[in-house]
Amino acid sequence: MITLQKLISMKGKEPIVMITAYDAPFARIVHEAGVDIILVGDSVGNNVLGYKDTLPVTMEDMLRHVQAVRRGAPDAFIVADMPFLSYQCSADEAVLNAGRFLKEAGANAVKIEGGSFFAPLVERLVKCGIPVMGHLGLTPQSINVFGGYKVQGKDEKSAQFLIQEAKALESAGVFAIVLEMVAEETAKAITESVKVPTIGIGSGRFCDGQVLVLHDVLGLNPDFLPKFAKRYANLYEEALKAVKTYILDVRSRTFPTEENVFKRG
């Protein structure tokens, strides 16, 4: 199993590869493929549970999915996303909720969205033995404040702001920072400003690592692919074809065949 120290030491040497997974079979696949980190993202909301954003996702949803991912990938380094309102209300509640991911679901770390405002919480979680990954730029739990999925850090002022936010998280003790939809030059500047690795999604080529949503990588959502994502397969089409063939087989009595049946005696 990859360790926190190994991940941190990869900065400046080799890219860190992170991908999301939400269930046991896909966790097994991404781990066997060799990713460095599995993120059980609250993007389970849009990608699996059918919500339009991540806001409705609950602690119970997340725990169930982190448990499934751990069962599918017993040796993987798993980061659990803390869902909306599981860490914003009070530090006590945040510690309890974050701790549940380690205690009840076998996660290795948690991820929270936000910058300096959450630095005291990050410090407290780390002191309690809970490694924390930060998340800056477009933070989807604040979509109602942002007013849309807009690129962040597009001018010098917002770039400087994000650099300060990243430094605050680093001082508080995060072991890595996700940068989401940050202008490439700004993501590069942030990456050069902190000693912990940055892991980008839609944040250009110069982050220390990359993360993508598994369902985008596999082509499971035919309706939409973000500009920053890349489809490496078209499983939607594959799955559609498979089920259509099954339907044809049953209707034409081509399935089951002799080899699928049980006999008496």
Q: Which residues bind ligand KIV (CB under 6 A)?
A: 20, 39, 41-43, 81, 178, 180, 201, 211, 213
Give the nearer residue to ligand KIV in terms of CB position, either 54 or 67. 54
- The Cα 200–Cα 197 span in angstroms is 10
224 versus 265: smaller Cβ distance to ligand KIV? 224
Residue type, position 251, single letter: R
- Per DSSP, what are the bridge partners of residue 137? 180
Distance between CA atoms of 151 and 144, rounded to whole angstroms?
15
Which amino acid is located at 161 in the chain? F
> Would you say 111 is a known binding-site residue?
yes
Query: 165 contacts which partner out of Na ion, ligand KIV, none, CB within 5 to 8 A by kind?
Result: none
Annotated catalytic residue 180 = yes
What's the min distance (Å) between Cβ of 201 and ligand KIV?
5
Of 112 and 172, which CB lies nearer to Na ion in the complex structure? 112
198 binds, among Na ion, ligand KIV, none (CB under 5 to 8 A by kind): none
Q: Are strands 16-20 and 209-212 parallel, antiparallel or unpaired?
A: parallel
Binding positions for Na ion, rule: CB under 5 A: 41-42, 81
Q: What is d(CA 43, CA 38) in angstroms, rounded to the nearest whole number? A: 13
| CB-based contact 202:227 (threshold 8 Å) | yes
User: Can you say which residues are annotated as belonging to the binding site for 3-methyl-2-oxobutanoate?
Assistant: 42-43, 81, 111
